[in-house]
Copies of this chain bind each other. A is one copy, B any other.
Amino acid sequence: MKSYRKELMFNVPARRGFVNITPQVQSALKESGIIEGIVLVNAMHITASVFINDDESGLHQDYEKWLERLAPHEPVSQYLHNRTGEDNGDAHLKRQVMGREVVVAITNGRLDFGTWEQIFYGEFDGRRKKRVLVKIIGE
């Protein structure tokens, strides 16, 4: 069994945003030399997500609006977590809806994807450097 590890860095300039990270994951896969196996891609922060969906800007705005409805940022006093001095209580909730990680099959050296699948980094408490872990195991 071979394994490969790579960290990706992000610094989203707004509080929230979605970044298509499929090309970076494909690069890591190429570097790994792994042909058959799986790749785990996970946020290393607990106010961010990695998820798979469509690269369509209207949809991303729908996600933004919907997540704000499910777990509004304001008023920040509604979250006990914010009594620690943070203002990111909502971000910890939004991240649970969108998920921490994806696991993707590797077949013939490629991400084994359906037509529209793309991997996204979902930021819910940005404006600082944050990391995503890519871990690949296989042969």
Contact = CB atoms under 8 A, between A and B. Distances in A.
Interface of A: 1, 3, 5, 36-38, 40, 42-46, 51-54, 56-59, 61-63, 66, 70-71, 79-84, 89, 92-93, 95-105, 107, 112-117, 131, 133, 135, 137-139
A114 B46 contact: yes
A102 B100 contact: yes
Nearest to A83: B58
A12 to B, nearest CB: 16
Contacts of A115: 44
B58 A117 contact: no
Given A63-B93, A81-B62, A99-B96, A45 B114 contact: yes
A116 B45 contact: yes
Contact of A138 (B5, B112, B137): B137
Q: What are the 9 A-B residue pairs with the smallest beta carbon separation, nearest first?
A: A44-B114, A58-B80, A105-B135, A59-B81, A3-B36, A58-B81, A46-B53, A62-B79, A61-B80
B99 A44 contact: no
Stoichiometry, as copies per complex, reads 3
A98 B101 contact: no
B81 A56 contact: yes
A84 B45 CA distance: 33
